[in-house]
């Protein structure tokens, strides 16, 4: 032992630990007190973390339903694991049910969410179609003006995201017994989406045959493949919508998959401190995107996934979205029309 050092007893210490086991606290990130869009200063954000969380819960439920459809044998030989044909038929039937649901809505809008959910909430497959419809704000508004039945869809009260916030997890939420009965009576289909599809598919196929050979053709864009074109073009003339909703649902299914792949639809992310921080960043980045776009309206600006998520969330509040765009999206003396997003982007 070195005589110049104090006596000590050597001990074996474990090696230092590196990697994910280290607990590194997530930095706090409160939302700013103001948001800048062009010359405007907003004291409140256009979307909130709670609204985006509800939207992500909805996307998770959509993704899980799609997997259930593709993995089950509900369509017999037409379905099966990973089968695009089965999913395409399912979406076509969902659009059919969406149209039926609209006709059951009261002419006088219901402001109380509890009453609306108990009496008029639709099945998950119908919510998928409504969601895709909302993300085409110009066409959505035009159809409402042109068709009194479509105009029965909720506006200020009981919009899509607020319904999800009320019911919690749309993937596990079940209707009341009375609502399931009233749905069956008014639409002549079961409330359960897959059960309904299995019941009405045979009749649908008899009146709307598909060329099986052409349906095997491949295309990089699933919304443009031969199968989807046949289904959409064969049915759209008999519907009141100004554009083809089957393809719109397919395009949104791709976005839903991307949200799942980055882990944002996972409950552990939504409930974590990190998730809350990330969503606050997302909101700030969305407002920054709008700020850039307001002064560069002739540029082709492509939003990232997180900005697209906030953007889509904003669009689900259709009347509020229109009002916000007309009030805040200005460039010099020129005011943006609220349909600027759809004229510039194919959502």
Over residues 114-152, the pLDDT tens digits come to 999 999 999 999 999 999 999 999 899 989 999 999 999
Q: Which residues pair with 331 in a beta bridge?
A: 334
Residue 129 has what pLDDT? 97
Predicted confidence band at 14 (pLDDT cuts at 50, 70, 90)? low
Show me where the domains of the chain are located: 35-344
Mean pLDDT of 3-26: 56
Phi and psi at 331, nearest 5°, equal: -140, 100
pLDDT, tens digit, 9 for 90 and up, residues 222-267: 444 444 554 444 444 546 898 889 889 999 999 999 999 999 999 9
Residue 206 has what pLDDT? 62
Half-sphere exposure of 221 (CA within 13 A, CB side): 8
pTM: 0.82
Instruction: Provide the total of helices (H) and of strands (E) in the chain, helices listed first.
Output: 16, 4
Predicted confidence band at 334 (pLDDT cuts at 50, 70, 90)? very low
Among 91-95, 186-190, 318-322, 343-347, which stretch is predicted with the lowest mean pLDDT?
343-347
Do 63 and 271 touch, CB atoms closer than 8 A? no
Structure tokens at 39: 């010359």
Torsion region of 106: left, alpha or beta (phi above 0 gives left; psi -120 to 50 gives alpha): beta
Residue 217 has what pLDDT? 43
According to DSSP, residue 299 is labeled: S
């Amino acid at each position: 032992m070195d005589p110049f050092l104090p006596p000590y007893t050597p001990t074996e210490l474990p090696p230092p630990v590196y990697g994910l086991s280290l607990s590194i606290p997530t930095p706090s990130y409160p939302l700013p007190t103001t948001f800048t869009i062009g010359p405007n200063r907003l004291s409140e954000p256009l979307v909130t973390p709670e609204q985006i969380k509800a939207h992500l819960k909805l996307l998770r439920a959509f993704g899980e339903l799609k997997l259930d459809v593709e993995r089950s044998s509900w369509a017999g030989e037409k379905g099966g694991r990973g089968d695009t044909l089965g999913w395409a038929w399912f979406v076509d039937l969902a659009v059919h049910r969406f149209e039926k649901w609209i006709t059951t809505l009261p002419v006088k809008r219901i402001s109380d969410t509890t009453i609306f959910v108990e009496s008029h909430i639709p099945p998950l497959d119908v919510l998928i179609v409504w969601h895709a419809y909302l993300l085409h704000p110009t066409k959505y508004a035009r159809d409402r003006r042109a068709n009194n039945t479509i105009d029965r869809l909720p506006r200020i009260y009981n919009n899509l995201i607020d319904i999800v916030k009320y019911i919690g997890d749309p993937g596990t939420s079940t209707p009341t017994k009375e609502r399931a009965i009233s749905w069956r009576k008014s639409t002549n289909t079961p409330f359960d989406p897959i059960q309904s599809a299995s019941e009405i598919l045979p009749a649908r196929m008899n009146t709307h045959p598909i060329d099986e050979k052409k349906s095997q053709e491949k295309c990089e864009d699933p919304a443009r493949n031969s199968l989807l074109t046949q289904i959409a073009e064969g049915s759209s003339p008999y519907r009141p919508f100004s554009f083809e909703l089957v393809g719109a649902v397919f395009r949104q299914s791709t976005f839903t998959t991307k949200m799942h792949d980055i882990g944002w639809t996972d409950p552990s992310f939504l409930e974590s401190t990190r998730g809350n921080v990330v969503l606050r960043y997302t909101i700030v980045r969305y407002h920054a995107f709008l700020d850039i776009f307001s002064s560069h309206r002739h540029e082709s600006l492509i939003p990232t996934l997180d900005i697209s998520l906030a953007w889509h969330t904003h669009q689900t509040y259709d009347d509020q979205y229109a009002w916000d765009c007309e009030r805040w999206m200005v460039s010099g003396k020129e005011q943006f029309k609220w349909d600027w997003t759809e004229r510039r982007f194919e959502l």
